[in-house]
Amino acid sequence: MVRINLYSDTQTQPTIGMRQAMSRAEVGDEQQFLDPSVNQLCDEVSKLLRKDSALFLPSGTMCNQIALAVHCVAGDEIIADQTSHVINNEAAGAAAICGAAIRPIQGKRGIFSADDVERSLRAGRALEPRSRLVVVEQSSNAGGGSIWPIKTLEEISVVARTHDLAMHMDGARLLNATVSSGIDAYRYANTVDSVWLDLSKGLGCPIGAVLAGSDNFIRKAWRWKHRLGGAMRQAGVIAAAGLYSLEHHVARLAEDHSNAKLFAQLVSSIEGVTVLNPEVETNLVFFDVSQTKYTSADLSTELRNHGVWIGAPTSTSMRAVTHLDISQSDIEEAADLIRQLIS
């Protein structure tokens, strides 16, 4: 049995308080705007991000795919970091659903610059794709939970506007970035045309994500929501979990960040282990185990046999993610176990 689950912040169990909020939720047909809980959630997120409107969706992946489809038509080109979720973890949705190509940028820790965007823009010749959209991921998952500096986002936003490109933020962990940096979510959101946040990551909900943008953007997004089968009915039972999490699970993300820092510190002192993102800006820790007797897959299996689950995204690296079901003593126990196994 897994006792300490560091595989992902998607692994959280809904808390008692959250389940109670879900059971009390007022509900209605959300497609008809008759679900008070969904309406309230969309309202709160659009206020938090200072966008006109918001749309409740089953997943973050659907938020990304709908945003790409609203911003792009077939044959357009999207600029995104090579490590991004839209490139690597959405089953080529951009190509399959809206027909757009993606131009990968080699950023640093998942983050690229306004100059990188300038260099990737097409000149507008008939034989080229049309540059249409810039996607940023706040925080960058594969980049190690790294946070895009607000200045970088503002500079990219200027380039995008100047060249008539739209800009979209994959904010799966936007609130982690906000809590860690102290910069309000709306300031990050203000640099982009569309943005979403995931309820089922660090916020601890079982399902759901909320996409926000202008009234015009959300109107178009609704059509895609229906088209992709993402329109729901009495979705208030899950929206209530989202409302609960926005009230109770945001400030506490700071604990996840300090637990991640502690974990990085503890494992970095183990012979043969190298932390790949020693800055640990948020709740993700990547570490290399190639100088130990284990491959990452073998170490992952061995840890799991002892009740600790840590993912092995590559043959040499491991990824540990902290969240609300992980305590400081879990971190100490997991790091101790790694030390014992390796030495």
Residues that bind ligand PLP (CB under 6 A): 59-61, 64, 85, 137, 141, 170, 172, 198, 200-201, 209
Cis peptide before 269 (omega within 30 of 0): no
Smallest gap from residue 142 Cβ to ligand PLP (A): 8
Smallest gap from residue 59 Cβ to ligand PLP (A): 3
Query: How many angstroms separate the CA atoms of 136 and 156, rounded?
Result: 10
Smallest gap from residue 61 Cβ to ligand PLP (A): 3
The nearer residue to ligand PLP, 245 or 292, going by C-beta atoms, is 245
Nearest in space to 322 (alpha carbons), one of 173, 128, 158:
173
The nearer residue to ligand PLP, 175 or 266, going by C-beta atoms, is 175
The nearer residue to ligand PLP, 137 or 193, going by C-beta atoms, is 137
Nearest in space to 49 (alpha carbons), one of 213, 279, 166, 233:
213
The nearer residue to ligand PLP, 87 or 117, going by C-beta atoms, is 87
Smallest gap from residue 89 Cβ to ligand PLP (A): 7
User: In sequence order, what E strands does the chain have?
Assistant: 4-5, 53-57, 76-81, 101-105, 130-137, 166-171, 194-198, 209-213, 274-275, 284-288, 308-309, 317-321
Smallest gap from residue 52 Cβ to ligand PLP (A): 23
Residue nearest to ligand PLP (CB): 60
The nearer residue to ligand PLP, 201 or 257, going by C-beta atoms, is 201
DSSP letter at 253 equals H
Nearest in space to 67 (alpha carbons), one of 188, 170, 200:
170
